[in-house]
Amino acid sequence: MEDKIGKIHSIMMQDREILSITGVIDVFAFDEENVDIETEMGMLTIKGTDLHVNKLNLEKKELEIEGEIESLTYHDGDSFNKKGNSFFGKLFK
């Protein structure tokens, strides 16, 4: 099992409408129905409708999403393309 010392990741959901996540390393993609992120505990996909990123601070590793949350799914392994292929990696090339 991977060493988890120093890794902090939490998810807090309010009324299935506001999702606050800590331990966010990168955001790979987002639109109104899907948000793909890398967290301290693995890759995470958030699905819903009318999703909006209200707050993103990668320095503090925080993300807040608002909308109708339908599901949260963790992915084992490297499900997303890393390094330079993230939304912000492409934006700031």
Q: Report pLDDT for 86.
A: 59
CB 19 within 8 A of CB 30: no
Domains with residue ranges and CATH for the chain: 10-91 (2.60.40.2000)
| Span 3-36, pLDDT tens digits | 667 789 999 999 999 999 999 999 999 999 999 9
CA nearest neighbour of 34 among 13, 54, 50, 14: 50
**What's the pLDDT at 91?**
53
Q: What is the mean pLDDT of residues 45-74?
A: 97
Cβ distance 75 to 43 under 8 Å?
yes
Query: The tokens of 54 are what?
Result: 């209200």
Alpha carbon dihedral 72, 19, 85, 81, in 10-degree steps, equals: -20
Summary mean pLDDT of the chain: 86
